[in-house]
A and B are shown apart, each in its own frame.
Chain A
Amino acid sequence: DAKTTQPTSMDCAEGRAANLPCNHSTISGNEYVYWYRQIHSQGPQYIIHGLKNNETNEMASLIITEDRKSSTLILPHATLRDTAVYYCIVRVAIGTNAGKSTFGDGTTLTVKP
């Protein structure tokens, strides 16, 4: 898996957009960018993933740069329940190693009232 770099922590005001960056400069052509989050003492929760196009779902948007070396997860209207550790992972989507996710330290997002 390609190595990812994320800021250790970020704060966001409730109701505002939270923009979480991730650098993955060594990403390979067949590797996707996945985002998960982990609320304290729970299993990680899948948020979104993408290959090269921007993606949006009910939880968040994912913006991937044209050179694919970095991406940004956007939570459009952060709530207190979005306080969690957010992990950016790059890996292949199919094949034997598709599920082997290497988790870095992630970004601890704190949403404040």
Chain B
Amino acid sequence: GAVVSQHPSRVICKSGTSVKIECRSLDFQATTMFWYRQFPKQSLMLMATSNEGSKATYEQGVEKDKFLINHASLTLSTLTVTSAHPEDSSFYICSAREAGTGRGYTFGSGTRLTVV
């Protein structure tokens, strides 16, 4: 079945630095991927839609200059958290779907970001 690989699984960074998270569709091509954020004991919240070869679409309230998304190929989307602060500490998850399968979207295993 479709597999979405997310890397790294955990990252700790210092406040003010930037962190890049990768989301790869391993055995299929994905023109669209989605990025979610999940705070402790809360549900997933959609942050943005990543479109291959074009600009990402951000949900209301999500700063596009802070959360940079690049979808340069049909199998890779990256989320860069710029100038990270402790309040950006969260669980970041991506999802993608193999076209034509009729199944739901496959989610990555998530990235636990801790900003200290």
Interchain CB contact under 8 A, B110 and A43: yes
CB distance from B90 to the nearest CB of A (A): 12
Report the stretch among B12-20, B61-69, B74-82, B100-108 that lies at the interface: B100-108
Report Cα–Cα, A40/B96, bound state, in Å.
20
CB distance from A71 to the nearest CB of B (A): 14
Using known A-B contacts A99-B32, A99-B34, A99-B97, determine if residue A43 contacts B107 with beta carbons closer than 8 Å: yes
Task: Give the total of A residues in contact with B, Cβ under 8 Å.
Answer: 22
The chain B residue with its CB closest to the CB of A89 is B104
Q: How large is the interface on B (under 10, 10 to 19, 20 to 34, 35 or more residues)?
A: 20 to 34
The chain A residue with its CB closest to the CB of B91 is A41
List 12 A-B residue pairs with CB atoms under 8 Å apart, sorted by A's residue number.
Answer: A38-B44, A41-B110, A41-B112, A43-B4, A43-B107, A43-B109, A44-B44, A49-B104, A99-B96, A100-B46, A103-B45, A106-B43
What are the nearest 9 A-B pairs in CB distance? Answer: A43-B107, A46-B104, A103-B44, A103-B43, A44-B107, A43-B110, A43-B109, A43-B93, A34-B104
Tell me the number of A-to-B contacts counted with CB atoms below 8 Å.
56
Report Cα–Cα, A43/B108, bound state, in Å.
6
Interchain CB contact under 8 A, A46 and B105: yes
Report Cα–Cα, A36/B44, bound state, in Å.
12
